[in-house]
Structure 1
Amino acid sequence: MTRKSWTHEGVCWVAGRKRTLPETIEVTDPADGRVIGCVPRGGVELAREAVDTASEAFPAWSRRLPRERGQVLKDWANRILDHRAELAKLLSQEQGKPVAEALGEVETAAEFVEWYGEEAKRISGEVLPPAKENQQMTVLRQPVGVAALITPWNYPAAMVTRKAAPALAAGCTVVLKPAKETPLIASALFELLMETNLPHGAANLVTGDAASIGDTWLGDYRVRKISFTGSTGVGKELMKKAAEHVKRVSLELGGNAPALVFEDADLDRAADAIVANKFENGGQMCNGINLIFVQEPVREELTERILARVKALRVGRGTETECHVGPLINQRACHKVQALVDDAVNKGARLRYGGEPLLEGEYSNGHFYRPTVLTEVDDRMDLTRDEVFGPVAPILTFRIEEEAVRRANGTPYGLAAYLFTRDGGRIHRLTEGLEAGMVGVNGTSLSFPQAPFGGIKESGLGREGGLYGLEEFLELKFISTMLD
């Protein structure tokens, strides 16, 4: 295997060829603001060309034998794993997360591709009981068509494969736009995909102006599916525009995930899981814990455990080996976090640790924020309603189970929820009663290739992962045949 050294000069991929443009977008390292690369500033013309080639490639790709589509994906997965170290370094540089987390993300990205490579050959139909004599009733599952995929900056490798792999496995062709903050890893992943036996045009990558690219795809009747991960506000706008051509839509949007810790919980286990989840990727995780509800008798015990673990976190450049928390994605993110912390403190929250940006020495040119713990937080504060998306752990208290559930559900979001308890009856009641698409019990891991990932209410529509994610790219066709 030859090790790759990506130049940080990202490219678009259309019809199986690299595409560059005179006008580019700079990509910066959030740890120091330094420009580390650039990508083409595509727009309407390139976005339309990508749909042209995806539309032309669709008939042949959709007719490929499922095992052949699956083999392309498994080859892609192997190539990702072969170059995991280089990909992780690239991801850490442009996104900021610790390289150990980046490596885990790259391996997860490959795991999704490999899983859907196997599932491609398991797409099946059904034979239904007939309603009349000499009748045959069958159901086919067929690919939707051209799928437009729009991926976020917080998990820019995993989200590329979590969307593209099931689409390609189903027989769809793909046009994909990565976030402007993190396009380099997407370009690198597509380079590896182009080295497989994928037909030219079956997968296309366009970087550039989000509005013009997105509007072009939304307005093109040939694009039959939109899959978007990002903010709830943008997701609502995409839904409105997709209605014009009645496109199928999958949306993975914002969250306000609660963690409920009961007095019978294993507090060390709860503290370990909460801190690992809350500060992963600097708190920039849609299913990350936003609010920590603790039953009053164990409030201080859990708080002290959380504080001890948070104080041990090392903030730094993601490529540093001893780094636990990297920079936020940009200065705007830092300002938002500070505003929410200030609002909470002004309304009576107690700042137990952190609560400020890191601005001096090695942090002087980056977007760093000190990991923060707040107690005495209540429902009047903005951070109980707004997604913090930063390294802030707000701790609230509750008295009884019914109160905890009511407050946890008192949000327009419903992506994830977590609970920590040893009570089997409570686990049963709360896993059904919490209004969330995913619930973690005595742990916080929720993203697996075989499991559905997604939310309810204003956290989105549809699912990614598992057979459920594959079905998002398949249409049902019913056939009634009268036999002689």
Structure 2
Amino acid sequence: MQLKDPSLFKQKAYIDGSWIVADHGGTNAIRNPANGETIAHVPDMGAAETRRAIEAADSALPAWRAKTAKERAAVLRRWFELILANQEDLARIMTLEQGKPLAEARGEVAYGASFIEWFAEEGKRVYGDVIPAPTGDKRLVVIKQPVGVTAAITPWNFPIAMITRKVGPALAAGCTSVVKPAEATPLSALALAELGERAGIPKGVLNIVTTARPAEVGGELTSNPVVRKLSFTGSTPVGKRLMAQCADTVKRVSLELGGNAPFIVFDDADIDAAVRGAIASKYRNAGQTCVCANRFIVQDGVYDRFAEKLAEAVRAMKVGDGLQQDVQIGPLINQAAIGKVDNLVADAVSKGAKAIIGGARHALGGNFYAPTVLTNVTSAMAVAQEEIFGPVAPLFRFKTDEEAVALANNTRYGLAAYFYSRDIGRVWRVAEQLEYGMVGINEGLISNEVAPFGGVKESGIGREGSHYGIDEYLQIKYLCMGV
């Protein structure tokens, strides 16, 4: 792996300030999804190593919690600066293990770093309350304190940002953390730990446990009573399982789970702007994001024009290895992902949908899928209810506003939604009626560090980013003083 700083390429886990191997010496092979080549081997750790990571986090907690918010912010600020200073190396590591185009990887590094910067400052603004007492002989005060040892289980699609979005607020609040990165993309997490160590994060405050046995490691994180908070980003079925496991020790949980995002195009929309938003929302990271537009719900009067313009834009997209110049669509993460997309497209076509572009595996083979636009899609097709997680845009048709909202809300998910309209009355009505935690209005990219990210219904619990994000790592304590 060619890096400006080769020491960022780590093949050991990070526990209690030390780089270590698994107890049994086993490893997990990390492969480049663009060509299948093995690029690294990381420790395949289990419950015992995870338990030691939790113990290290517990031992480090008193001293880290005792630091002032300003002292913690100084460490986090150095970490933020080091992440940006090493942006190119971090982006290259990410593209090699995850597959996204290098330009997108650079963007994710900056996006991920923004959470460290934001929460470094938010930690200084953890305010309490003074409550007017009901009687004159008491004074009532509310303070906020760190929850304690936290655990983070992160996905492969954003291997840096999903860590910083959890660890940033945890450390800023005075908590310590044990992170289990995705089995497919641990190298970015390990590089972050190396930079965190250089920034002055004390040993035990941040721990990275790599594994090929996620159920075993997750089981220890959810059952160990020392862990007081679990944050997870991933699928809804796994999130439900983790939530149930956390119930035995009554842990706090933050869950950012699956999505089935509608992208509504009304007949008064700026169609060119809607197409640009659709490309950004749907095809970023080859369609492998939880907030990707999953269902395009287009009004009758503009359906054909939108479909034609979208297909034209998709046709121009370059597919290939993310390290190659001008590539816009990289590979899917593995063959299972390719198979799922293939099956969803085949189901839709068999029930009457038409692939006006794409509709099959890409000529490059391997994990590449051709960017696809499907028309004549109906609610009877699997793509109406299943998260695609691939570069496929299914276009549904509607007539009235009420029908569009009903179609959009007809899902168990409620993470992100998008719509395009220039009617201010319609904008307010539809925005309020959509059952989603986040709504993009005439905008296809909605994520940033200052806004609350999270969903409703079966898309999760809690919020990440914004001033709300640090509250997930704080507990409220009420003090009643007799005077």
TM range (shorter): over 0.9
How many angstroms apart in 2 are the aligned matches of 1:461 and 1:259? 23
How many angstroms apart in 2 are the aligned matches of 1:358 and 1:304? 21
How many angstroms apart in 2 are the aligned matches of 1:3 and 1:9? 14
Name the SS for the 1:107 alignment partner.
Answer: helix
Matches within 5 A, 1:190-269: 190-208=193-211, 209-269=213-273
Q: Are residues 200 and 8 of structure 1, via their aligned partners in 2, closer, same or farther at CA, if it must alter by over 3 Å?
A: closer
Letter in 1 for 2:157: N
Name the SS for the 1:396 alignment partner.
Answer: strand
Q: TM-score, normalised by structure 2?
A: 0.98
Count residues with an aligned counterpart.
Answer: 478
* Aligned residue number for residue 141 of structure 2: 138
* Aligned residue number for residue 425 of structure 2: 425
Name the SS for the 1:133 alignment partner.
Answer: coil
* Aligned residue number for residue 26 of structure 1: 29
Q: CA deviation at 1:446?
A: 1.7
Letter in 1 for 2:336: R
Q: TM-score, normalised by structure 1?
A: 0.98
Contact 2:8 2:194 in 1 (8 A): no
Contact 2:61 2:148 in 1 (8 A): yes
How many angstroms apart in 2 are the aligned matches of 1:464 and 1:141? 18
* Aligned residue number for residue 469 of structure 1: 469
Matches within 5 A, 1:327-342: 327-342=331-346
Letter in 1 for 2:260: N
Contact 2:112 2:165 in 1 (8 A): yes
Contact 2:435 2:456 in 1 (8 A): yes
- When structure 1 is superposed on structure 2, of 249-258 and 192-201 the one drifting more is 192-201
Alignment match of 2:156 (pick from 153, 157, 163) = 153
> Is structure 2 residue 293 aligned with structure 1 residue 289?
yes
> Residue by residue, what CA displacement relative to the aligned partner does 1:385-414 show, whole Å, maximum 9, x if unpaired?
000000000001100000000110000000
Alignment match of 1:83 (pick from 82, 86, 97) = 86
> Residue by residue, what CA displacement relative to the aligned partner does 1:244-290 show, whole Å, maximum 9, x if unpaired?
00000000000000011001000000001101210000000000000
Letter in 2 for 1:415: L
How many angstroms apart in 2 are the aligned matches of 1:217 and 1:420? 42
Alignment match of 2:40 (pick from 22, 37, 40) = 37
Q: CA deviation at 1:9?
A: 4.3
Matches within 5 A, 1:93-132: 93-132=96-135
Name the SS for the 2:285 alignment partner.
Answer: helix
How many angstroms apart in 2 are the aligned matches of 1:199 and 1:342? 52
How many angstroms apart in 2 are the aligned matches of 1:156 and 1:200? 22
Letter in 2 for 1:302: F
Q: CA deviation at 1:416?
A: 0.4
Name the SS for the 2:199 alignment partner.
Answer: coil
Letter in 1 for 2:466: G
How many angstroms apart in 1 are the aligned matches of 2:30 and 2:133? 59
Contact 2:263 2:417 in 1 (8 A): yes
How many angstroms apart in 1 are the aligned matches of 2:395 and 2:412? 20
How many angstroms apart in 2 are the aligned matches of 1:373 and 1:222? 49
Contact 2:76 2:116 in 1 (8 A): yes
- When structure 1 is superposed on structure 2, of 9-18 and 317-326 the one drifting more is 9-18
* Aligned residue number for residue 306 of structure 2: 302
Q: CA deviation at 1:20?
A: 1.9
Moved over 4 A (4+): 6-9
Q: CA deviation at 1:10?
A: 2.2
Q: CA deviation at 1:98?
A: 0.2
Q: Are residues 478 and 219 of structure 1, via their aligned partners in 2, closer, same or farther at CA, if it must alter by over 3 Å?
A: same
Percent identity of the aligned residues? 47
Letter in 1 for 2:410: G
Name the SS for the 1:199 alignment partner.
Answer: coil
Name the SS for the 1:358 alignment partner.
Answer: coil
Letter in 2 for 1:320: Q
Unpaired runs of 5+ residues, structure 2, are: none
> Is structure 2 residue 377 aligned with structure 1 residue 374?
no
Letter in 1 for 2:404: A
Contact 1:8 1:36 in 2 (8 A): no
> Residue by residue, what CA displacement relative to the aligned partner does 1:440-477 show, whole Å, maximum 9, x if unpaired?
00002221111100000000000100111100000000
Letter in 2 for 1:10: Q
- When structure 1 is superposed on structure 2, of 228-237 and 109-118 the one drifting more is 109-118
Letter in 2 for 1:60: A
How many angstroms apart in 2 are the aligned matches of 1:147 and 1:7? 25
Contact 1:42 1:206 in 2 (8 A): yes
* Aligned residue number for residue 347 of structure 2: 343
Matches within 5 A, 1:316-327: 316-327=320-331
Matches within 5 A, 1:349-368: 349-359=353-363, 363-364=364-365, 366-368=366-368
Contact 1:8 1:38 in 2 (8 A): no
Name the SS for the 1:58 alignment partner.
Answer: helix
Contact 1:9 1:38 in 2 (8 A): no
Letter in 2 for 1:19: I
How many angstroms apart in 1 are the aligned matches of 2:202 and 2:89? 26
* Aligned residue number for residue 6 of structure 2: 5
Name the SS for the 1:472 alignment partner.
Answer: helix
Q: CA deviation at 1:134?
A: 2.4
Letter in 1 for 2:6: S
Unpaired runs of 5+ residues, structure 1, are: none
Q: CA deviation at 1:6?
A: 4.6
How many angstroms apart in 2 are the aligned matches of 1:299 and 1:244? 51
